[in-house]
Structure 1
Amino acid sequence: MTAYAELRAQLATLTTEAFRPELAEIDRLSTLDIARTMNAEDATVPAAVAARLPQIAAAVDAIAVRMARGGRLVYAGAGTAGRMGVLDASECPPTFNTDPSEVVGLIAGGPSAMVKAVEGAEDSAESAAADLAALDIGPDDTVVGISASGRTPYAIGAVEAARARGALTVGLSCNAGSALAAAAEHGIEVVVGPELLTGSTRLKAGTAQKLVLNLISTITMIRLGKTYGNLMVDMRSSNEKLRARARRIVSLATGAPDEEIEAALTATGGEVKNAVLVILGGVDGEEAAELLAASRGHLRAALSAAATTHEPHEPR
């Protein structure tokens, strides 16, 4: 059997590649009916993700332990899967004030593959190993391989190389019994079924990947103390909208009047978490920074420490 025939035979076994005869004439439907059909397909994805929440939670707990020690979270994938990883990584600095080096997205073929397909890049496990070597991946890091099929060499290669370096590994795919999940310590297989368009895994599979990556990064950041309740107190105020949001978050957390909020933000250089601690903990900006450093950035712990020596305000 030729390599081409072997690959074709492999694809025929994948749920994500299955042909759906009942949709063979979808192009003859009205636009509204196509939209309804597609929307109904999309509505099945959250349930598929829900079925894997225990595996996702276990992976998050393991990731958070390593990141608390200074480790990094690295996503690695090709095509749509790679783009999902890069997207999630790029959203962490403005949302959680992480350094760009803390959550990293690797895509087969390099940054240019974000906007233009790089043919053959996904087939190279060696390039994945080289990309991880360039990051000097180690035991405190986590590498999440992402692949709808679960057979993409780049994603599998990334997981295998990371594991050889002692890093934690997670394999996210959309087919059961995938090689990617088998290669990783934590396998997450979100089986969304055949796509509306045969093999177009940017659809349900892509949506599932986005939902899972949202869960991984958001809950990890909650565990790292990047939030106070459901408030983004570690956000970066890099534009006018975010500066307005920062003031609103301080207000929601403290119930303080605008004048007190402005004074606290001024005293803390615009840091939302520090400003909340200044108001609720009754400390100055310098002490807020010291308390947060001692509590490894966890605002609730810093507030408890402040309460032992100051008269704290009651949060709203």
Structure 2
Amino acid sequence: MERITEKDSDYNNLEAMSVREILENINNEDQTVPRAVEKVIPQIERLAEAASEKMKSGGRMFYIGAGTSGRLGVLDASECPPTFGVPFDWVVGIIAGGDTAIRRAVEFAEDDFDQAWLDLKEFHINEDDVLIGLAASGTTPYVIGGLRKANEHNIITGCIVCNSGSPVAAEAKFPIEVVVGPEFLTGSTRMKSGTAQKLVLNMLSTSVMIQLGRVHGNKMVDMQLTNKKLVERGIKIIMKETGTEQPTAAELLLKYGSVRKAIEASFK
């Protein structure tokens, strides 16, 4: 397969550019990413609908990946509980090499074809769940192996890749192929490819959580109130939704400990 993610950059002699030129050229490339994502909205829709149905029935959503892709999966999964108030095991991010690899690359971890399934088995993954493989190149053995074993166990599989016709996409029942073209820095898929994967993950998890009823109107009524900023945000949401003044809203939030419960209680 042709790997566009490894093609030579359209820019050369980067070291001869001024800082302004470097920044403007990176920005020019970055502006192409949302358009690439727009083209695959139907693919994202199919995976989001499949994941929503599984999770409505008690299933979970897993991300597996290596390097930048793996870190992005861990990031998206870790942000679901504070944003939507869901349990920490509803969306699970697993990176090749384990949590150590979040901060420091683990050599050859992505080349282990069998390890992803071993990692997933620790969470007792089953056919009620959904597995999404993240690999900019679409060729990561860790991800291919995980998806293949999941398919053998009748688990719904999806992927987010940045090359067309990749082995990862071939394994996924719901592939998402966001082709963003060569990177500004040749082969550095933490740039446009990483941005594309982050955008798709945002779209995927947010749309799934909305389908699961974790949003009211356009507000994060189930968010975890883990700092002063979020408490203040919660109070403002209660004020807007109920028409109460700040002291009453603050009292409701203190009493019920949840924006959703405080709003519901005010209408009883």
Q: TM-score range by the shorter chain?
A: over 0.9
Encode CA deviations 1:163-210: one digit per residue, 9 max, x unaligned.
222221101100011111110110100000000111100000000000
Q: Does 2:85 align with 1:91?
A: no
Matched with 1:241 is 229
What is the deviation of 1:162?
1.7
Q: Give the aligned residue type for 2:44.
A: I
Matched with 1:44 is 32
2:93 counterpart SS class = strand
2:25 counterpart SS class = helix
Out of 247, 259, 268, the residue aligned to residue 272 of structure 1 is 259
Q: Does 2:5 align with 1:16?
A: yes
**Root-mean-square deviation (Å):** 1.2
Is the contact between residue 132 and residue 161 of structure 1 (CA under 8 Å) also seen in structure 2?
no
2-structure distance, mates of 1:133, 1:97? 25
What is the deviation of 1:97?
0.7
Matched with 1:217 is 205
Q: Compute the TM-score of the two structures, normalised by the length of structure 2.
A: 0.97
4+ aligned runs moved over 6 Å, structure 1:
none
2-structure distance, mates of 1:55, 1:177? 14
Tell which deviates more after alignment, 104-113 or 91-100.
Answer: 91-100
2-structure distance, mates of 1:253, 1:54? 33
Tell which deviates more after alignment, 240-249 or 203-212.
Answer: 240-249
Q: Which structure ranks higher in relative contact order (CA pairs < 8 Å, sequence separation ≥ 6)?
A: 2
Q: Does 2:22 align with 1:34?
A: yes
Structure 2 matches for 1:4-153, cutoff 5 A? 13-20=2-9, 22-153=10-141
What is the deviation of 1:90?
0.7
The size of the alignment, in residue pairs, is 268
1-structure distance, mates of 2:27, 2:33? 10
1:146 counterpart SS class = strand
Matched with 1:301 is none
Is the contact between residue 48 and residue 208 of structure 2 (CA under 8 Å) also seen in structure 1?
yes
Q: Give the aligned residue type for 1:85.
A: G
Is the contact between residue 250 and residue 261 of structure 1 (CA under 8 Å) also seen in structure 2?
yes
Structure 2 matches for 1:224-263, cutoff 5 A? 224-263=212-251
What is the deviation of 1:23?
1.5
1-structure distance, mates of 2:168, 2:159? 5
What is the deviation of 1:118?
0.4
Out of 172, 178, 185, the residue aligned to residue 190 of structure 1 is 178
1-structure distance, mates of 2:251, 2:229? 19
1-structure distance, mates of 2:131, 2:7? 29
2-structure distance, mates of 1:263, 1:237? 14
Encode CA deviations 1:212-243: one digit per residue, 9 max, x unaligned.
00011111001111101110001000111111
Q: Compute the TM-score of the two structures, normalised by the length of structure 1.
A: 0.83
Encode CA deviations 1:108-144: one digit per residue, 9 max, x unaligned.
0000000101011001121001011111111111111
1:188 counterpart SS class = strand
Is the contact between residue 6 and residue 182 of structure 2 (CA under 8 Å) also seen in structure 1?
yes
| Unmatched tracts of structure 2, length 5 or more | none
Q: Percent identity?
A: 46
Out of 171, 180, 189, the residue aligned to residue 168 of structure 2 is 180
Is the contact between residue 78 and residue 147 of structure 1 (CA under 8 Å) also seen in structure 2?
yes
What is the deviation of 1:260?
2.9
Q: Does 2:149 align with 1:164?
A: no
| Unmatched tracts of structure 1, length 5 or more | 1-9, 284-316
Matched with 1:287 is none
